[in-house]
Amino acid sequence: MMVYEAWEVSGMAGSCDVVVVGGGQGGLAAGYYLRRAGLDHVILDAQSQPGGAWRHGWDSLRLFSPAQHSPLPGWAMPHQDGEDFPTAGHVVAYLRAYEQRYDLPVRRPVRVHEVRPAGEGLAVETDTGRWLARYVISATGTWECPYVPDVPGRAEFTGRQLHTVHYTSPDEFRGQRVMVVGGGNSAAQILAEVSRVAEVTWVTARPPRFMPDDVDGRVLFEVATRTAAGGPGGSVSDLGDIVMVPSVRDAREREVLRARPMIARLTAHGACWPDEAEQPYEAVIWCTGFRPNLTHLAALLPSYQQGKVATHGTRSVDEPRLYLLGYGNWTGPASATLIGVGRTAKATVADITARLHP
């Protein structure tokens, strides 16, 4: 039974118990538990096809874990012969099949412009009409909000600048002088392959921290789980920042994993470090992370600051009818991973169910 039958008006797309915004891994995990709980819901996805952000990764992008250690709830990711760590294409195929397997009510492409209070519920304004819901789960991820630091001279640089989201393969940089900026996994992996075809300088805000060679996604999830349960030992951050996948280990053997401190400024044709002459560069690849994609929630989150929302678990402190799923550790340990988002999705749906049926 729809919860807002009396609100039917011209331009209204529908009403339900829960609207999930985002049809990537977080939205699908939420849909799995919402269906199990018997809650009337819809998943609104701005993408034209299944797969979430995995559809847009660079050509060589792979998971840190084997397929059997990268499941969404209910169904393990199938293993593919000859593939120790699944490619982005494998993940996209899995997410597409997952939607079909559980007959999840995904509607796409539907872009959500705003979520705002409406009586006892929330109104979700989209480019195809208005949805009314008792609760909203936002699971839009971060891929659409790349972050680039405001480095002096960035607007003056006449070479090419691109963020991780626009990088596809090293071939487009063949024979060039390239600067890779960032101290995380994407920077290390992109550096590893671009350095095979170009002269690359790696720039980081602090010295990069490499994890032990035997650490992969399985270990990271186990550590995050133990930390969440209050168990002994350190956290994931204590292990380092960069997973030593095969391509990064190969770069270490080629002695290209050498980072320089952050530049003082960019120039028209290159970059300068403090007290050093200008060095020429033809391209800068910004591997400097993302911010949560939360523009649709501006009316509900007055305390939003610098990529983090005040929450109790995944429920917003500012708006208790709003939940935020899969944006990073502040929405649950390892919640931005395939295997980790299921745990926080389960807790989110359990909390909503308890509030709908106390």
pLDDT of 6 reads 38
Distances (CA, A) of 100 to 61, 93, 96, 103, 106: 25, 11, 7, 5, 10
pLDDT of 334 reads 84
In degrees, rounded to 5, the angle at the alpha carbon of residue 271 between the alpha carbons of residues 266 and 274 is: 95
Task: Provide the residue ranges of all domains of the chain, joining segments of one domain with +.
Answer: 5-144+290-356, 160-286
The answer to whether 30 and 146 have CB atoms below 8 angstroms apart is no
Are 5-144+290-356 and 160-286 the same fold in CATH? yes
| Distance, CA of 84 to CA of 66 (rounded, Å) | 6
Give the residues across from 272 on adjacent strands: 265
pLDDT of 227 reads 62
Strands 12-21 and 129-138: parallel
Cis bond before residue 280 (omega within 30° of 0) = no
Q: Which CATH class is domain 5-144+290-356?
A: alpha beta
pLDDT of 225 reads 64
Give the residues across from 203 on adjacent strands: 181, 260
| Distance, CA of 202 to CA of 15 (rounded, Å) | 50
pLDDT of 7 reads 40
What CATH number was assigned to the domain covering residues 160-286? Answer: 3.50.50.60
| Distance, CA of 301 to CA of 318 (rounded, Å) | 6
End-to-end CA distance of the chain: 18
Give the residues across from 131 on adjacent strands: 14, 124
The token pair that represents 105 in the structure block: 């009510």
Tens place of pLDDT per residue across the chain (358 aa) = 334 343 444 467 899 999 999 999 999 999 999 999 999 999 999 999 999 999 999 999 988 888 888 899 999 999 887 778 899 999 999 999 999 999 999 999 999 999 999 999 999 999 999 999 999 999 999 999 999 999 999 999 999 999 999 999 999 999 999 999 999 999 999 999 999 999 999 999 999 999 998 887 777 767 666 666 666 665 666 778 899 999 999 999 999 999 999 999 999 999 999 988 999 999 999 999 999 989 999 999 887 766 678 899 999 999 999 999 999 888 988 889 998 899 999 999 999 999 999 8
The token pair that represents 207 in the structure block: 């010295």
Per the rule left: phi > 0, alpha: psi between -120 and 50, beta: everything else, 195 is alpha
pLDDT of 3 reads 40
12-28 burial: b if 16+ Cβ within 10 Å, else e = ebbbbbbbbbbbbbbbb
| Distance, CA of 333 to CA of 328 (rounded, Å) | 7
The label of the residue with tokens 């071939």 reads 171
Strands 279-280 and 270-272: antiparallel
Interhelix angle for 217-228 vs 338-356, to 10°?
Answer: 30
Task: State residue 286 phi and psi, 5-degree precision.
Answer: -90, 105
